[in-house]
Amino acid sequence: MSYPEINFIFLNEEEMIKAGVKNMPACIDTMEDVIKCLNAGDYVMGGENHNSHGSQVSFPTESPFPNMPLDEGDDRRFMAMPAYIGGPFDMAGMKWYGSNSNNRKKGLPRSILTVMLNDKDTGAPLALMSANILSAMRTGAIPGVGARYLAKKDAKVCGICGPGVMGKTSLEAILTSCPNIEEIKVKGRGQASLQAFVEYAKEKYPEIKSIHAVDSIEELVRDTDVISFTNSGNTDPSTYPFVKLEWVKKGALIIGLSCFDMDTEEMAKCKLVVDNTALYEAWAEEFPYPSFGMNNIIGSKFTDMIHDGYISKEHMVDLGDIMNGKKEVRDFSDQVVIFSVGGMPVEDVAWGKYCYENAKKLGLGTTLKLWDKPDMA
């Protein structure tokens, strides 16, 4: 980039696909490097604690102002998610998050996302990119990293709770990391979405011997090696899918991308792993105890359990410590592992950097000019 002139590129969704945003094996490798940076502390996110998920504007359910947006569903918000990540990325950026559950009535996804990458020193924009696929891929890829390190090597059965976009990307990542999978189960709330998921999976993964829907959480979990919860949820834990430990196969891996719940004492018997310990400590500050429910990610139940004395702080293990050999995957061979996935803007910046570099090599994107020379410098 030349100064004081500043140009940057815009990448639409089609160009992002050409730049490799859907390359799941590369995304898993990239997210593994992200986890290493997080574990080393080579990153900064928002807030005074440098670990905030983002700054969110939530709307009221009613207002005296006629033009004020109202919360019409489970998820209506605007959110800014800034981050810097070092290591092989050395990049700053921001994910912009707009969400409304009623978007589907207009033929739109619930969330409409963009990512801006910025020069870490000047703050100058480098790229503005369509980010719905980017976000979905990096979210799915973290379970792929978890499965790579936490799943049994002979895992043969995968269960997905929630047949939406996250279900599809986490399934792809799990299959990438667990090549011996030969059966896929899926649980959802609507027959149409379940059937669509089964048909999608059969077409995409013809090598899988059995792909079928199940009617209950118990059926999903029993005899299943890797289970991924990708269902939608709210702030009421009583509505979350509930798992009994007696249903869970010995040594199984449960991945919490979204909400589910277990009995506290039963959960304390499991290996509890998180993608970034500091993120959950920050959430515990932002969502006063009890955090779980206000934040529906299962790792917030881990911090509540620490607060209540069910487990020690050391019982909640950072995936990076397992990757670096500082902690064991299991305390005993048949221990069930629960892996909490929080999602962080450092992941968006890292995967955005990968796509940005590919786009430059391929000559993709529309060049936009910020200025030739700043008028008020």
pLDDT in tens, 155-213: 999 999 999 999 999 999 999 999 999 999 999 999 999 999 999 999 999 999 999 99
Query: Are the beta carbons of 140 and 30 closer than 8 angstroms?
Result: no
Q: Does 128 share its domain with 172? A: no
Q: Does 169 share its domain with 236? A: yes
Q: Does 208 share its domain with 248? A: yes
pLDDT by residue (tens digit) across 305-362? 999 999 999 999 999 999 999 999 999 999 999 999 999 999 999 999 999 999 999 9
Q: Does 58 share its domain with 161? A: no
Q: Does 230 share its domain with 313? A: yes
The whole-number pLDDT of residue 73 equals 65
Q: Which residue matches tokens 């489970």?
A: 74
Number of domains in the chain: 2
Rounded distance between C-alpha atoms, residue 91 and residue 88, angstroms:
9
128 φ/ψ angles, rounded to the nearest 5 degrees: -115, 125
Q: Does 205 share its domain with 231? A: yes
The whole-number pLDDT of residue 31 equals 98
pLDDT by residue (tens digit) across 34-78? 999 999 999 999 998 999 989 999 899 899 999 999 987 667 889
Rounded distance between C-alpha atoms, residue 40 and residue 196, angstroms:
41
Domain at 217, CATH number: 3.40.50.720
Q: Considering the domain boundaries, does residue 202 fall inside one?
A: yes
Q: Does 59 share its domain with 173? A: no
| Whole-number average pLDDT of the chain | 96
A 10 A CB-CB count for 273 gives 26
Q: Does 164 share its domain with 236? A: yes
Q: Does 146 share its domain with 17? A: no
Q: Does 120 share its domain with 153? A: no
Q: Which of 67-81, 93-107, 277-291 has the lowest mean pLDDT?
A: 67-81
- Exposed, middle or buried, 315 (CB in 10 Å: 0-12/13-18/19+)? middle
Quote the domain boundaries for residue 298.
Answer: 142-344
Q: Considering the domain boundaries, does residue 360 fall inside one?
A: yes
The whole-number pLDDT of residue 151 equals 98
Q: Does 207 share its domain with 276? A: yes
Domain at 120, CATH number: 3.30.1780.10
pLDDT mean over 266-272: 98
Q: Does 292 share its domain with 237? A: yes
The whole-number pLDDT of residue 196 equals 97
Rounded distance between C-alpha atoms, residue 222 and residue 16, angstroms:
39
